[in-house]
Amino acid sequence: MGILDGRVIIVTGGAKGIGLAYCRGLAAEGATVVVADLSDGGEVVAELESTGAKAMSLQVDVSDVAQTEAMAAAAVDAYGRIDGLVNNAAFYMAATRAPMEDLPPDEWDLCFKVNVKGTWLCARAVAPTMRAQGSGRIVNIASMTVNDGTPGFLHYVSSKSAIWGLTRAMARELGGSGIAVNTITPDYIPHDEAYSSVQPEVDVAIQARRAFKRSQVPEDMVGTLIYLMSPLSDFVTGQNIWVNGGSGFH
Ligand SMILES: NC(=O)c1ccc[n+]([C@@H]2O[C@H](COP(=O)([O-])OP(=O)(O)OC[C@H]3O[C@@H](n4cnc5c(N)ncnc54)[C@H](O)[C@@H]3O)[C@@H](O)[C@H]2O)c1
């Protein structure tokens, strides 16, 4: 028995990284997990099924209207309902790190298309089902770079700051239908070599200013997500929970 028994939850960008940790954590609490990613999530599904969980994989570009609508339809076809959506997919590691004058303008558009429009499109796709159920949970993922004003990738920081506002407005729009919308804001999580090899000094500096002086790992995010997907947070909406080991407060 888990606290999410019977809940069907879509995790975008669930095939790797922090999204994979979300999939594992949700499944361990009894949720049926839909792994929605540009990449094939078949291996994740096999792993979750080997633990006795129910799961399916869908190849989806979250910035494509038709693909997000097909994602919601496939989840309903398979399981009859959608209880949760985790808007985790993002254009992040591939983002150019450069002074603002040097950012490629086309990349700015791509960043907003995936991170902001994609978040809206996925929520838009699941909203009719959640409204019909009179319940649902949408969790959007932001970044501590918004609070920190981290220089060097203005397009990414700006796109994640949009998530804070989008969550609030969406919470008011969907609250009348019993749908909660919240943000989780993670700090820097260097979960594979790509992160530590690009900027090892970034993690060292962030650890130094944290109350908890260690590196943040994907599993640090999972408890807050489970809480926001569970009955424990039934009266929580429009909120922004910072999970950062005390690197900043609000
Ligand atoms: N890792 C960090 O330091 C950090 C810090 C703060 C916030 N975040 C946020 O956490 C989330 C996960 O980050 P991560 O480090 O695990 O990222 P990641 O790059 O390791 O994984 C992202 C996943 O999203 C998928 N994806 C990318 N574009 C997609 C699209 N258009 N449609 C569907 N899937 C797509 C990728 O295939 C990949 O599986 C992101 O929203 C990111 O912005 C990460």
Ligand 1 proximal residues by C-beta, below 6 Å: 12-13, 15-19, 37-39, 60-63, 88-93, 114, 118, 141, 143, 186, 188-189, 191
Please report whether residue 196 resides in a domain.
yes
Q: Are 190 and 215 in contact (CB under 8 A)?
A: yes
181 φ, ψ to 5°? Answer: -130, 120
Mean pLDDT of 4-11: 98
Ligand 1, atom 25: nearest CA belongs to which residue? 13
Distance of CA 78 from the midpoint of ligand 1 (Å)? 25
**Among 24, 37, 191, residue to substitute to test ligand 1 (most atoms within 8 Å of Cβ):** 37
**If pLDDT is split at 50, 70 and 90, which confidence band does 198 have?**
low
* pLDDT of 201: 87
Tokens of 131: 């409204």
Q: Are 181 and 123 in contact (CB under 8 A)?
A: yes
CA distance 5 to 230: 9
Residues 39-92: tens digit of each pLDDT: 999 999 999 999 999 999 999 999 999 999 999 999 999 999 999 999 999 999
Please report whether residue 249 resides in a domain.
no
Please report whether residue 248 resides in a domain.
no
Please report whether residue 165 resides in a domain.
yes
CA distance 176 to 130: 11
Please report whether residue 1 resides in a domain.
no
Q: Is the pLDDT of residue 107 over 80?
A: yes
Mean pLDDT of 213-220: 97
Q: Is the pLDDT of residue 202 over 90?
A: no
Q: Is the pLDDT of residue 197 over 80?
A: no
Please report whether residue 44 resides in a domain.
yes
Say which CATH number the domain at 179 has. 3.40.50.720
Please report whether residue 250 resides in a domain.
no
Distance of CA 40 from the midpoint of ligand 1 (Å)? 14
Please report whether residue 2 resides in a domain.
no
Tokens of 110: 């791509």
Q: How many domains does the chain have?
A: 1
Around 172, how many Cα atoms within 13 Å sit in the side-chain half-sphere?
4
What value does the mean pLDDT of the chain take? 97
Domain with 46 in it: 8-243
221-237 as b/e: b if 16+ CB within 10 A:
bbebbbbbbbeebeeeb
SS (H, E, C) 28-87: HCCCEEEEEECCCCHHHHHHHHHCCCCEEEEECCCCCHHHHHHHHHHHHHHHCCCCEEEE
